[in-house]
Chain A
Amino acid sequence: GDSVTQMEGPVTLSEEACLTINCTYTATGYPSLFWYVQYPGEGLQLLLKATKADDKGSNKGFEATYRKETTSFHLEKGSVQVSDSAVYFCALSGATNKLIFGTGTLLAVQP
C-alpha cells in the first residue's frame, strides 16, 4: 500500500543554518504531497503542498519540490529561525481522501 518514509530526528541546527528533511514515498497513481507542521502545544497545520510532478510548494520560507523520478518531496529552508522549532510530517493523499503520514521529524533550532 501507499507509504511515506521521512528521515528520523531529532535534527538540531543553529539559527540561520540550512535545513533539509528528506521524504520519499511509495504510491500507486499520482498522489498529492504535503508537509504538515506541529508547533509545541499546537495542532497540526498544513505548511505546503504540491499536487503534481515538478510542482514546488512553498510557504514561510520553506520549499519542497515534487520529484516523481525519485519519488521524493524533501523539505528545505535556507535559513532557519528558533521559531521554526517543531515536528514536521511529510504526507501523501492518493486516490482516496485520507492522508498517509510519515513518522515525523523533530527540528530544534538553537539561538
Chain B
Amino acid sequence: GAGVSQTPSNKVTEKGKYVELRCDPISGHTALYWYRQSLGQGPEFLIYFQGTGAADDSGLPNDRFFAVRPEGSVSTLKIQRTERGDSAVYLCASSLAGGISYEQYFGPGTRLTVT
C-alpha cells in the first residue's frame, strides 16, 4: 500500500518568505509526527498530532512555526518569515495510533533551502 508522502520534495525560498510543507499519512493512521533533520544530525521532534489536535508541540522552535491537521489526515507545516537556519530536511511520520507500541512510518522528507 501507499506509504507516507510529502510534497514538495524540494523547496527553495528566499529569506523572509512563507512556506508550507504537506504530509499525507498512511490511510487510517491517527497519529502524525513532524521532525526536522539538519545536515549531519539525527531528526529532531517538532510536533505530534493525535487526530486533529496537536497533542505535543514542544519541539516547535518558535512562533514562526505552526502546523495543522484539520481533518485528521493530511497535515501542513507552515513556516513564516523563513530564516537561513530553517534550512533542513523536514520529515513526516505516521502511526496507526499514538503510543510507543506503534511503529512510526517515515516519509521521504522535504528538503527546504532558505537563501
Contacts and interface: CB of A to CB of B under 8 A. Distances in A.
A26 to B, nearest CB: 15
B45 A100 contact: yes
A22 interface: no
A102 to B, nearest CB: 5
Contacts, number: 56
Looking at A93, A97, A101, A102, the one whose CB has the most chain B CB atoms below 10 A away is: A97
Contacts of B35: 99
Contact of B48 (A42, A51, A97): A97
Interface in A60-98: 89, 91, 93, 96-98
Contacts of A98: 33, 45, 48, 56, 59
A14 interface: no
A46 interface: yes
Contacts of A27: none
Contacts of B100: 32, 51, 93, 97
Interface residues of A, number: 21
Nearest to A31: B100
B56 to A, nearest CB: 6
B20 interface: no
Nearest to A41: B108
B45 A99 contact: yes
Nearest to B99: A97
A91 B48 contact: no
A89 B42 CA distance: 7
Interface of B: 3-4, 31, 33, 35, 40-45, 48, 55-56, 59, 91, 93, 95, 98-101, 103-104, 106-109
14 contacts: A32-B100, A43-B3, A43-B106, A44-B91, A44-B106, A49-B103, A51-B101, A97-B55, A97-B98, A97-B99, A98-B48, A99-B33, A103-B42, A104-B41
Interface of A: 4, 32, 42-46, 49, 51, 89, 91, 93, 96-104
